C-alpha cells in the first residue's frame, strides 16, 4: 500500500470554515489551517495533499492562491514536494514523534488526563510482592487474571450492577477495549451511531472495523442545559430507528468533551429502543465515577435494559493514571468468548504486573475517587472563575463531573486559537478534534483535571494567544455564522 | 453481525485427514476430530457448524454418519442445538475461558514459552524506583519512552546493525507489533507470503488486515536438513516473483515451529528479490538471539538489504517472560510515523512501568541469554534423548537454537495424539495448528524451553497417550499417505 492520499473533498471537509476570522491574504489563511491540521495530527505526516488545480476548484479559489499556500507551507517545512507524488505533508525538522511532544517549557492540555495518583509507586511496590506467584506460568493472559476479573466484577456489584467474573475481559486500556468490541460487533458496511462531538479515537476504532458512521448531535446550542440530555435521547432514538445500526458508541456519564450525562429515564428509553432494534450500545464508562456534585448517580448503563443490549467499557486511565494501561469489557459470557477468540491476532494479552497493580487499585477505588473528586471540583471551579475573568464572552457550561468543559467561544475560531496557543507554549485540542468533517469550530475543550497551577498557566496562555490572533475582535467574530 | 458460521468446505479443510488411523465407527472418528478442533480453538465456541446434509455431501459420507457424529458431540456437551441456528460448537460446562486453562494437574506444553527469569521480581522492584520521574506526565505513550527506544537501538547496534531511536516503536509484545505492521502495510486483497508451517497468530494478523495468504512450504520432508534453508529460499523467491505480495512474514532465526534458520547468503538473496519486487519483509526475530550452538550468528535481517526492505519485530516474550508484554518494531522513521498514526484507533500506548522494566532487562540481555541458552541446551538434549528412547520411530530434527523441535511422527496422527494426550493431563499443540487447512498431521511441536522435569513428564504422558490410541500401530500408520 502506498502512503495515504487526501482527496480535495476530504481536505475541504477537514479545513472547515478556514476563511472565517482571517484578515490577511487568502493563501496565508489556507496555509495556516493546513499547518494546524498537520500539527495536531488530523492530516498525518506523509499524506499526499490534493493537486493544486483540484483543490482550487473544490475550494472556489484561484489556482494561484493554492500554489502560493503550498509554497508557503513548503518554505515553512510543512510540505515536501516529491517527484511523481506531488505535495506531501511533513513536520519541520522531521521529528520521529507525532503529535510533537511538548518541549519542557510547553504545557500539554491537549489530553484531558490527570497526573498519576501520588501514592502509585507504593502500590506498584506492593504489586511486585504479588508477582512471584505467577512467574512459573507462561505469562500470556488474553482474558485477565481471575483475581482482577473478580475485583472488577465486585466493583460493578458495589455500584448496583450484579456481575460475575465470566462477564469480564481485562484489556490494555479502554481504547483497546473499544477497538476489540468494534472488531467483533461491526460488520463491514454496518452503520454505527456516535455522538457529535465525541471522543475521536472511539469513532476511528469503529471506522477501522468497517463501520459507516451516523453522527447524532448532542450539543446543538452552546447554551444547552448540560445536566439534562433528554433532547439528545430523542435524537439518538430517531437515529437508531432510522439507520438500524449494529452498534452505537456513547458515554452515558460526563460525555467527553461536553461533560453531559444521561439520567435514569434516558438510559431506560435508549436501551429500550436499542433492544427493539437489535443494536448493541457500547457504553464507555471510563469517567462514570468522576462525579463532582451530581445529586444522584445513575447505575452503570447495562442495568437499564435486557442482558446483552449494553456492552460496558471501563478503565483506570482517568482515575488512576494514563500510564497504567488497564481497561476492561463487561459483556455477556458468550460475547466475552468471541472477544477472546478475536483478540489473539491483535495481541496476546495484558501484562501481569500491570494487572496485579490494577487489582490493588480497584480495591482502593473509593479512596481514589474521593481524592479525584476534590481535585476535579477545584479544577472546575478555577476554570469557571478564570475564564469568566479573562474571557467574559465565552460560555463555560457548568458540569457536575468528568474531566473537561466544552467552552463556547462565540465564534468559529477554535483551530486558529489552538494554533496561536501553540506559539504561546500551550498545546490544546481545538473543537474540530471532536467532530467529523471540521465541525465544532465554535468550541474548545478545556480539561479540569490538571493541577490548578497548570490550569491558570493555560488560561493565561490562551489570553495571550487570543490577543495575538490577527484581525479578530470577539465582538466582530460573534457575528460570523454558526457552524452547527 | 451474528455469530460466526462455518461452511462445510471450511470444516472439511480443518478436519484434514480425519479418517486416518481411525478404526472404530466413522461417526466416532468425525466426532472426535470436531471435538479436538473445538478444544484447541480452531473452531471457536459459538460457531455454527454446517448443516448435516451439506457436511455429509462435502465429506462423502452418509447423512446418518454426520447425524450420529453431531448427536455424539451433543451428548458430550460439545454441540448445542439452537432453534433456528442449527448446531453450535460449545465446551462442556461452558467455561468462560478459551483455550481451557490447564487444571492444576495439567501440564501445558501448547505454548513454547519459558517460565519467567528467576530474578524478574528484583528488576521489577528497581523499575518501580524509576517510576516517580514519570508520574507527572499523562502516561499515554504510543511510541515508547526515549530511554527504552535508545536501549533497543543500542542492542541492534551491538548485534551489528546500526540503529537510531527514531527507527524504533515500542509495542505491547511481538504479536501487537505484527498486527500493527500488517494493518499499515497490507491493503485489502493484497497477497502476503507466509512460511508453512508457521506461527499461526502471525498469519491471522495478516488475514485480519485483509491479506490473501500465499503459503510457501519450508519443511517439505521430515528428514530435511534443519540447518540449511537454501531450498526454502528458492521457494520463497519463486513465490515473491510469482505473486507480487505487498508483504512476506517470516522468522529468519529458529523458525517457529521448525527451528530452522536462514544463513547470510539466503538473507541477502531474499532481500534482493524483495527489494526488486517492492515487497516488505516482516521479520519476526523474537527468538533470534536464542542460539544454543550455532557456529556463526547472522546479523539481524535488515542488515542484508536496502533500507526499508525488512521491518524487524522483536520482543522479550521468549527471553524474559511472556507476562512482560514488551515488543518493538524497527523500521525507517517514515514508516514509524505511519505506524504511530495507525496505532491510536487500536490502543493508546504501552504501560510505563512495563517499559521501565524492559529498559533494565535489555541492559542485561547478555546475562539473560547466557542463562536461557544453557536451559535450552539442556531442554533440547533431554527431548532428543527421551524421544529416541520412548519413540524410536519418530524423527527429531537436531536444532541449534530456538524454543521447540518439530517432530516427524511417521504418520498423520498428530491431532489424534494431542487429543489422547489431553486425557493424560498434557496440553500440546498438534501439527495442524501451524498450517492452514489442516496440513501437518504428521508433525508435532515439542517445546525445548520448559524445565527438564516438565519435559520428562510430557514425554511420558505422550507415551501413555500414544498407547491409548485406538487401532494405531506405528508401523501400520506409517503406510498412510504423507500430508507434506
Model pLDDT for residues B14-46, shown as the tens digit of each residue? 888 888 766 788 999 899 888 888 876 678 777
- What integer best gives the mean pLDDT of chain B? 88
Instruction: Tell me whether B340 touches chain A (CB under 8 Å).
Output: yes
Q: Do B340 and A116 touch (CB under 8 A)?
A: no
Q: Give the C-alpha separation, B419 to B430, whole Å.
A: 9
Q: Give the C-alpha separation, B175 to B219, whole Å.
A: 23
E strand spans, A21-137: 79-82, 86-89, 107-109
Residues B80 and B43 sit within 8 Å (Cβ to Cβ): no
Query: Are B438 and B330 in a shared domain?
Result: no
Rg for chain B (alpha carbons), in Å? 23
Q: Alpha-carbon dihedral of residues A433, A438, A443, A444, nearest 10 degrees?
A: 30
CA atoms within 13 A of residue B158's CA, in its CB half-sphere: 12
Would you state the pLDDT for residue A471?
Answer: 59
Would you state the pLDDT for residue A476?
Answer: 37
Q: Do B351 and A128 touch (CB under 8 A)?
A: no
Low-confidence stretches of chain B (pLDDT < 70) are: 1-3, 21-22, 40-41, 93-105, 219-231, 471-484
φ, ψ (nearest 5 deg) of residue A274: -65, -45
- Structural domain span for residue B266: 120-364
Q: Do B125 and A125 touch (CB under 8 A)?
A: yes
Q: What is the pTM of this model?
A: 0.83
Query: Are A197 and A316 in a shared domain?
Result: yes
Smallest CA–CA distance, residue B351 to chain A, in Å, is: 5
Nearest to A144 by CA among A168, A167, A125: A168
Q: Output A228 or A19, whichever has higher pLDDT.
A: A19
Say whether A2 sits in a helix, a strand or coil: coil
Confidence of residue A478 (pLDDT cuts 50, 70, 90): very low
10 Å Cβ neighbour count for B86? 15
Query: Are A404 and A346 in a shared domain?
Result: no
Query: Are B168 and B308 in a shared domain?
Result: yes
Q: Give the C-alpha separation, A44 to B113, whole Å.
A: 38
Strands B107-109 and B280-284: unpaired
Query: Are B330 and B389 in a shared domain?
Result: no
Exposure of A388 by Cβ count < 10 A (0-12 exposed, 13-18 middle, 19+ buried)?
exposed
Grid coordinates representing A384 are 469557571
Smallest CA–CA distance, residue B338 to chain A, in Å, is: 7
Grid coordinates representing A352 are 501481569
B73 in any annotated domain: yes
Nearest to A179 among B128, B323, B345 (CB): B345
* CATH number of residue B262's parent domain: 3.40.640.10
Would you state the pLDDT for residue A105?
Answer: 58
Would you state the pLDDT for residue A481?
Answer: 29
Q: Output A83 or B273, whichever has higher pLDDT.
A: B273
pLDDT tens sequence across A338-374? 999 999 999 999 999 999 999 999 999 999 999 999 9
pLDDT tens sequence across B307-331? 999 999 999 999 999 999 999 999 9
Query: Are B331 and B355 in a shared domain?
Result: yes
Query: Are A206 and A325 in a shared domain?
Result: yes
Q: Give the C-alpha separation, B175 to B173, whole Å.
A: 6
- What's the first-to-final CA gap in chain B, in angstroms? 37
pLDDT tens sequence across A412-422? 899 999 989 99
Nearest to B149 by CA among B358, B308, B313: B358
Instruction: Tell me whether B100 touches chain A (CB under 8 Å).
Output: no
Q: Do B172 and A121 touch (CB under 8 A)?
A: no
B96 in any annotated domain: no
Q: Give the C-alpha separation, A391 to A385, whole Å.
A: 10
Q: Give the C-alpha separation, B177 to B147, whole Å.
A: 19
Confidence of residue A222 (pLDDT cuts 50, 70, 90): very low
A331 in any annotated domain: yes
B101 in any annotated domain: no
pLDDT tens sequence across A93-142? 543 333 444 444 589 999 999 999 999 999 999 999 999 999 999 999 99
Confidence of residue A221 (pLDDT cuts 50, 70, 90): very low
Would you state the pLDDT for residue B296?
Answer: 83
Query: Are A12 and A63 in a shared domain?
Result: yes
Say whether A174 sits in a helix, a strand or coil: helix
* CATH number of residue B17's parent domain: 1.10.10.10
B94 in any annotated domain: no
Instruction: Tell me whether A241 touches chain B (CB under 8 Å).
Output: no
Query: Are B198 and B337 in a shared domain?
Result: yes
B102 in any annotated domain: no
**Region A427-432 average pLDDT:** 93
Would you state the pLDDT for residue B472?
Answer: 53
Query: What's the structural domain count of chain A?
Result: 3
Amino acid at each position: 500500500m502506498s502512503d495515504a492520499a487526501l482527496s480535495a473533498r476530504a481536505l475541504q471537509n477537514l479545513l472547515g470554515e478556514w476563511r472565517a476570522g482571517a484578515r490577511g491574504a487568502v493563501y496565508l489563511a489556507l496555509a495556516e489551517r493546513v499547518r494546524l491540521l498537520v500539527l495536531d495530527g488530523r492530516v498525518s505526516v506523509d499524506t499526499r495533499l490534493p493537486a493544486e488545480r483540484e483543490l482550487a476548484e473544490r475550494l472556489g479559489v484561484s489556482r494561484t492562491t493554492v500554489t502560493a499556500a503550498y509554497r508557503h507551507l513548503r518554505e515553512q517545512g510543512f510540505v515536501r514536494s516529491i517527484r511523481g507524488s506531488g505535495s506531501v505533508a511533513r513536520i519541520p525538522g522531521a521529528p520521529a514523534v507525532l503529535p510533537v511532544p511538548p518541549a519542557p517549557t510547553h504545557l500539554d492540555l491537549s489530553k484531558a488526563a490527570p497526573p498519576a495518583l501520588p501514592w502509585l509507586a507504593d502500590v506498584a511496590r506492593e504489586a511486585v510482592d504479588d508477582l512471584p506467584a505467577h512467574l512459573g506460568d507462561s505469562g500470556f493472559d488474553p482474558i485477565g487474571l481471575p483475581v482482577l476479573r473478580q475485583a472488577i466484577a465486585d466493583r460493578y456489584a458495589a455500584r448496583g450492577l450484579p456481575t460475575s467474573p465470566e462477564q469480564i475481559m481485562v484489556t490494555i486500556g479502554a481504547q483497546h477495549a473499544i477497538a476489540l468490541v468494534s472488531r467483533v460487533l461491526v460488520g463491514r458496511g454496518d452503520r454505527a451511531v456516535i455522538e457529535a462531538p465525541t471522543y475521536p479515537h472511539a469513532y476511528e476504532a469503529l471506522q477501522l472495523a468497517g463501520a459507516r458512521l451516523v453522527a447524532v448531535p448532542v450539543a446543538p446550542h452552546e447554551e444547552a442545559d448540560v445536566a439534562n440530555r433528554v433532547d439528545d435521547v430523542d435524537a439518538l432514538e430517531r437515529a437508531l430507528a432510522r439507520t438500524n445500526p449494529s452498534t452505537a458508541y456513547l458515554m452515558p456519564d460526563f460525555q467527553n468533551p461536553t461533560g453531559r450525562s444521561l439520567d435514569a429515564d434516558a438510559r431506560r428509553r435508549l436501551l429500550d429502543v436499542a433492544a427493539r432494534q437489535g443494536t448493541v450500545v457500547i457504553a464507555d464508562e471510563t469517567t462514570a465515577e468522576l462525579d463532582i456534585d451530581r445529586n444522584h448517580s445513575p447505575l452503570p448503563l447495562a442495568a437499564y435494559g435486557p442482558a446483552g443490549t449494553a456492552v460496558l467499557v471501563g478503565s483506570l486511565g482517568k482515575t488512576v493514571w494514563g500510564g497504567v494501561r488497564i481497561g476492561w469489557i463487561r459483556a455477556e459470557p458468550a460475547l466475552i468468548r468471541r472477544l477472546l477468540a478475536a483478540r489473539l491476532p491483535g495481541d496476546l494479552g495484558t501484562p501481569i504486573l500491570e494487572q496485579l497493580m490494577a487489582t490493588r487499585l480497584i480495591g482502593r477505588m473509593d479512596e481514589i475517587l474521593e481524592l479525584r473528586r476534590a481535585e476535579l471540583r477545584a479544577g472546575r471551579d478555577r476554570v469557571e472563575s478564570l475564564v469568566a475573568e479573562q474571557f467574559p464572552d465565552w460560555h463555560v457550561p457548568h458540569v457536575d463531573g468528568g474531566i473537561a468543559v466544552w467552552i463556547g467561544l462565540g465564534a468559529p475560531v477554535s483551530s486558529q486559537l489552538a494554533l496561536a496557543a501553540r506559539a504561546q507554549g500551550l498545546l490544546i485540542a481545538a473543537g474540530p478534534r471532536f467532530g467529523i468533517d471540521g465541525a465544532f469550530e465554535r468550541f474548545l475543550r478545556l480539561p479540569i483535571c490538571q493541577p490548578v497551577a497548570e490550569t491558570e498557566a493555560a488560561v493565561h496562555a490562551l489570553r495571550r494567544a487570543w490577543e495575538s490572533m490577527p484581525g479578530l475582535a470577539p465582538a466582530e467574530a460573534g457575528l460570523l455564522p454558526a457552524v452547527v
